[in-house]
Amino acid sequence: MIRIKYLIKEEKNMEESKFRVWDKDEKRFWYFSPLEGLDASLKRIVEEGEKQQFSGLKDVKGKEIYEGDFIKDVYDNEELDLLDDDDYDPDEPTGVVKYMHDGWVVSDGTEEGGYYLEEFINMVEVAGNVYENEEWLPTLYSPPENVEPIKIKFRVWDGQNIIYVSKNSGYRLIFEGSDWELEFKDEMHCSSIDPCCKLMQYSGATDINGKDIYEGDIVKNGLNEEEYKRKYRKDYKEYGFSLGEFKGICTYEEDSSCWVIDNPKYPSFTMVHHLFCEIDMNLVEIIGNVYKNEELFKALSSE
């Protein structure tokens, strides 16, 4: 069976639903689209092999980029002069293509490290893949795992306290369209009609202390400059270290459909860090939230 993410994408874009399968006997890829009929031998290959989806993107040479492809960075001479990276090797890949949570990323082998493929599509080239270039596997690739779905949990600010809604809390959330109502023992406690009350969803991430990160939480992240430069050299080149060490608010970004850490200091240019993909979650710590810690929120806005 094709994994769920392929079926979901098929509804959006048939071109992006193409996939390939590695034939371990013939040592080659077979390429398919969801509308193709399969004979018995190819059906066996599809059922037994690892399916890798087409990202919908092409590299600087026009080659289609698939899940499992190794990617290398392509710089012109002027960019190389500005790079200032002694470890850069034009023949070595910087990561492997994966689908992580909310988009296609080039992962450097860690759970969070890497960058969004589409953002740098004009400066990447396919260098190989996980089957034909096994020498790069130890540092840049880990086999796909069964990822547990993110738990859907909520908490509510009722104007005075934060209430975590659970089976044992005595509280119950009732939704009707975009409106909601919080009940306690079958009596209404607060609702979306009250402007002082706010509903906040769990992001699916936890901080270094194992604490769940919710919408509205204020967090800090402490990458040192050398580590940030090594892991995110494209961002370092463009922004310096300003993105590497920060405080911000966990919020859901509608445009990119993902959880981000946002800094309210930049109203015209939102400086965001995507949870899971751009942030080392081992370094993130909750230091408060926007409702119970107004002094932190004000300080963050004026830093």
Indicate whether this model's pTM tops 0.85.
no
pLDDT of residue 67: 92
pLDDT in tens, 123-172: 899 999 999 998 888 766 555 555 455 578 899 999 999 999 988 889 99
CATH number for the domain formed by residue range(s) 154-302: 2.30.30.290
Burial (CB count <10 Å: 0-12, 13-18, 19+), residue 40: exposed
Report the half-sphere exposure of 299 (CA within 13 A, side-chain side). Answer: 10
pLDDT in tens, 31-87: 887 655 556 667 777 777 888 889 889 999 999 999 999 999 887 666 655 555 555
- Per-domain residue ranges of the chain: 4-140, 154-302
- The answer, yes or no, to whether residue 247 has pLDDT greater than 60, is yes
**Do residues 58 and 15 make contact, with C-beta atoms less than 8 angstroms apart?**
no
pLDDT in tens, 220-242: 876 667 776 776 677 677 766 65
Distance CA 50, CA 286 (A): 38
**Average pLDDT in the 86-106 region?**
77
**Considering the chain, what percentage of its residues have pLDDT values greater than 90?**
25
